A and B are shown apart, each in its own frame.
Chain A
Amino acid sequence: MTQALATTSTSVSTARLSSWSLLLNNRLATAGLIILTVIGAIALLAPWLPIPNPNTTLPANRLQPILSDGHLLGTDHLGRDILSRLIWGSRVSIAVGVSATLIAALVGSLIGLVSGYARGTTDNVLMRGIDMIMAFPYILLALAIVAVLGPGLLNALYAIAIVNIPFFARNVRGITVGLASREFVDAARLSGKTHAAILFTEVLPNVLPVIVITMSTTVGWMILETAGLSFLGLGAQPPQADLGSMLGEGRRLLFTAPHVSIIPGLMIFALVMSINLLGDGVRDVLDPRLRAGDLTRPLSVTRVKRKTAPAPVEASDAILDVRGLETSFQRGRATVPAVKGVSFALRKGECMGLIGESGSGKSVTALSLLGLVASPPGVITDGTVAIEGEDVFSRSETGIRALRGAKVAYVFQDPLTTLHPLYRVGEQIAEAITAHQRIGKGEARARAIALMEQVGIRDAKDRVDAYPHEMSGGQRQRIGIAMALANDPDIIIADEPTTALDVTVQAKILDLLQNLRKERGMALLLITHDFGVVAQVCDRVAVMKDGEIVEAGETAELLRAPQHPYTQKLIACVPELGQGKAFLETVRPLFAEGKP
Chain B
Amino acid sequence: MSNAIVVKDLVKTFGGKRSLFGGTGHAVHAVKGVSFELKQNETLAIVGESGSGKSTIARMLVGLETPTSGTIAIGGQDYAELHAKGSREFGQMIQYVFQDPVASLNPRKTIDTILDVPLKLLRGYDSEKRKARKRELLDAVQMPSDTLERYPHEFSGGQAQRIAIARALAAEAKIMVLDEPVSALDVSVQAQVLLLLDDLKREFDLSYLFISHDLAVVESVSDRVAVMYLGEMVELDTAEKLFAAPGHEYTRELIASAPRLERERQSRPETDRRGTTELSSRA
Which residues does A use to contact B, with CB under 8 Å? 4, 7, 182-184, 186-194, 202, 205-206, 357-358, 456-458, 471-475, 502-508, 511-512, 514-515, 529-533, 535-537, 555-556, 559, 569-571, 573-584, 587-588, 590-591, 595-596
A416 nearest CB across to chain B (Å): 13
Say yes or no: A504-B261 contact (C-beta < 8 A), given A529-B187, A575-B217. Answer: no
Which residues of A have CB within 8 Å of B49?
502-505
Determine whether the beta carbon of A184 is less than 8 Å from that of B259.
Answer: no
Q: Kindly state whether residue B7 has any CB partner on chain A within 8 Å.
A: no
Which 4 residue pairs of A and B lie closest in terms of their CB atoms, listed nearest first? A532-B259, A192-B121, A474-B280, A583-B220
The answer for the CA separation of A570 and B186 in the assembled complex, in Å, is 9
The answer for the CA separation of A513 and B239 in the assembled complex, in Å, is 33
Q: Kindly state whether residue B216 has any CB partner on chain A within 8 Å.
A: yes
Identify B121's interface contact among A193, A535, A569, A590, CB under 8 A: A193
Q: Kindly state whether residue B68 has any CB partner on chain A within 8 Å.
A: no
Identify A190's interface contact among B91, B270, B272, CB under 8 A: B91
Identify A187's interface contact among B164, B188, B276, CB under 8 A: B164
Determine whether the beta carbon of B259 is less than 8 Å from that of A206.
Answer: no
Determine whether the beta carbon of B259 is less than 8 Å from that of A504.
Answer: no
Shortest Cβ distance from A357 into B: residue: B186
Determine whether the beta carbon of A535 is less than 8 Å from that of B261.
Answer: yes
Determine whether the beta carbon of A475 is less than 8 Å from that of B257.
Answer: no
Determine whether the beta carbon of A184 is less than 8 Å from that of B104.
Answer: yes
Determine whether the beta carbon of A187 is less than 8 Å from that of B213.
Answer: no
Other A-B pairs beyond A190-B62, A580-B239, 14, CB < 8 Å: A7-B156, A184-B105, A187-B96, A188-B117, A357-B187, A458-B274, A502-B283, A503-B254, A536-B260, A573-B187, A573-B188, A575-B217, A579-B220, A595-B142
The answer for the CA separation of A533 and B258 in the assembled complex, in Å, is 9
**Stretch from B34-42, B128-136, B191-199 contacting the other chain:** B191-199
Identify B219's interface contact among A193, A503, A580, A591, CB under 8 A: A580
Identify A587's interface contact among B98, B191, B239, CB under 8 A: B191
Determine whether the beta carbon of A473 is less than 8 Å from that of B280.
Answer: yes
Say yes or no: A182-B280 contact (C-beta < 8 A), given A573-B187, A575-B219, A576-B260. Answer: no
Shortest Cβ distance from A179 into B: residue: B106
The answer for the CA separation of A206 and B187 in the assembled complex, in Å, is 32
The answer for the CA separation of A188 and B114 in the assembled complex, in Å, is 8
Determine whether the beta carbon of A503 is less than 8 Å from that of B187.
Answer: no
Identify B273's interface contact among A189, A511, A576, A587, CB under 8 A: A511
Say yes or no: A577-B281 contact (C-beta < 8 A), given A7-B154, A529-B187, A590-B191. Answer: no
Determine whether the beta carbon of A512 is less than 8 Å from that of B273.
Answer: yes
The answer for the CA separation of A577 and B91 in the assembled complex, in Å, is 34
The answer for the CA separation of A569 and B64 in the assembled complex, in Å, is 39
Say yes or no: A502-B213 contact (C-beta < 8 A), given A190-B95, A532-B259, A577-B243. Answer: yes
* Central interface residue in B105, B188, B276, by most chain A CB within 10 Å: B276
Which residues of B have CB within 8 Å of A183?
98-100, 103-104
Say yes or no: A475-B186 contact (C-beta < 8 A), given A187-B164, A577-B216. Answer: no
Which residues of B have CB within 8 Å of A458?
274, 277
Interface size class of B (residues with CB under 8 A): 35 or more
Determine whether the beta carbon of A576 is less than 8 Å from that of B216.
Answer: yes
The answer for the CA separation of A502 and B274 in the assembled complex, in Å, is 17
A125 nearest CB across to chain B (Å): 13
Determine whether the beta carbon of A205 is less than 8 Å from that of B108.
Answer: yes
Which residues of A have CB within 8 Å of B215?
503, 577
Which residues of B have CB within 8 Å of A507?
256-257, 259, 268, 272
Within 8 A of A (CB), among B197-247: 198, 213-217, 219-221, 239-240, 243
Q: Kindly state whether residue B171 has any CB partner on chain A within 8 Å.
A: yes
Say yes or no: A202-B106 contact (C-beta < 8 A), given A506-B259, A529-B187. Answer: yes
Determine whether the beta carbon of B280 is less than 8 Å from that of A191.
Answer: no
Q: Kindly state whether residue B253 has any CB partner on chain A within 8 Å.
A: yes
Determine whether the beta carbon of A577 is less than 8 Å from that of B255.
Answer: yes
Which residues of A have CB within 8 Å of B219?
575, 577-581, 583
Identify A530's interface contact among B142, B243, B259, CB under 8 A: B259
Within 8 A of A (CB), among B77-123: 87-88, 90-91, 95-96, 98-100, 103-109, 117-118, 121-122
The answer for the CA separation of A503 and B283 in the assembled complex, in Å, is 12
Determine whether the beta carbon of A472 is less than 8 Å from that of B283.
Answer: yes
The answer for the CA separation of A330 and B145 in the assembled complex, in Å, is 33
Shortest Cβ distance from B253 into A: residue: A504
The answer for the CA separation of A183 and B100 in the assembled complex, in Å, is 8
Determine whether the beta carbon of A576 is less than 8 Å from that of B261.
Answer: yes
Shortest Cβ distance from B121 into A: residue: A192
Shortest Cβ distance from B88 into A: residue: A192
A487 nearest CB across to chain B (Å): 23
A122 nearest CB across to chain B (Å): 15
Which residues of B have CB within 8 Å of A357?
186-189
The answer for the CA separation of A503 and B95 in the assembled complex, in Å, is 28
Q: Kindly state whether residue B174 has any CB partner on chain A within 8 Å.
A: no
The answer for the CA separation of A503 and B171 in the assembled complex, in Å, is 34
Determine whether the beta carbon of B187 is less than 8 Å from that of A456.
Answer: no
Which residues of A have CB within 8 Å of B274?
456, 458
Determine whether the beta carbon of B98 is less than 8 Å from that of A584.
Answer: no
A86 nearest CB across to chain B (Å): 42
Which residues of B have CB within 8 Å of A194?
87
Determine whether the beta carbon of B261 is less than 8 Å from that of A532.
Answer: yes
B147 nearest CB across to chain A (Å): 10
Q: Kindly state whether residue B56 has any CB partner on chain A within 8 Å.
A: no
Shortest Cβ distance from A356 into B: residue: B186
Determine whether the beta carbon of A591 is less than 8 Å from that of B257.
Answer: no
The answer for the CA separation of A576 and B264 in the assembled complex, in Å, is 14
Determine whether the beta carbon of A581 is less than 8 Å from that of B220.
Answer: yes
Which residues of A have CB within 8 Å of B194?
575, 584
A352 nearest CB across to chain B (Å): 15
The answer for the CA separation of A473 and B63 in the assembled complex, in Å, is 30
The answer for the CA separation of A503 and B229 in the assembled complex, in Å, is 13
Shortest Cβ distance from A535 into B: residue: B261
Which residues of A have CB within 8 Å of B108?
205-206
